Structure 1
Amino acid sequence: MSQPNEEKWLKQINAQLDNSTEQLDYPTQLKLKQARHRAINQNIRSNKLFRWLKWGLPTMATATVAAILTINALMAPNENQVPEPNLFQDLEILAMEEDMELIKQLEFYEWLENNAESELES
């Protein structure tokens, strides 16, 4: 149906329904009005529930995911962070009166330590 014909048809239907309700007795008209009000109120309540489900659940899911990601980021150690050198340990080594030849071979000890770590990992 085209738009003007559809509007005309709806007006005719409404007019017939209004005429038929006017011919009913008063108690029946009252029951009909009460049924209409119950239907309207029920529709309003169901719309509120639908609106909550439509917006509430996705919002809660997004907030939960954001909270989990934030907690995970805060709890995970930062692997890119460079450890601070222990200056007191270096001073202790320099203050020792032992053989300075061992201190000169510090690169060898670093290499040995790195190889030991890589062997433990594999």
Structure 2
Amino acid sequence: MSLQRDDRFTAQVKQQLEQHAEDVDALTAARLQALRKRALEGARQKSFSGWPLGGLAAAAALLVVVVFWSLAPGDFDMLPVDADTLAQVEDLELLEELEFYAWLEDTQPSS
């Protein structure tokens, strides 16, 4: 019901506006046309000037995302350990044990 009422109201307002637009004298119509033209030109200039700045901001944001994504550390805990690394660890343990055996030998009386 209210939709029909809204449609009727819109039609009445449109009809009244068109009627008032027809009753405008030539001088007022020319002024309105000039103001409309100036407003449309200003709107075009403002919308165009905003694009380069917005594009620059979007490009900078994209660059930041790409740089941080490429610098993000990988999951190194899940990488397999190679045999050389294991051998180096075992060599260090053996060296520590050899030092212990040398100390033990020095502290024990010889028989």
Q: Which has the higher contact order (CA 8 A, sep 6+)?
A: 1
TM-score where L is the length of structure 2: 0.47
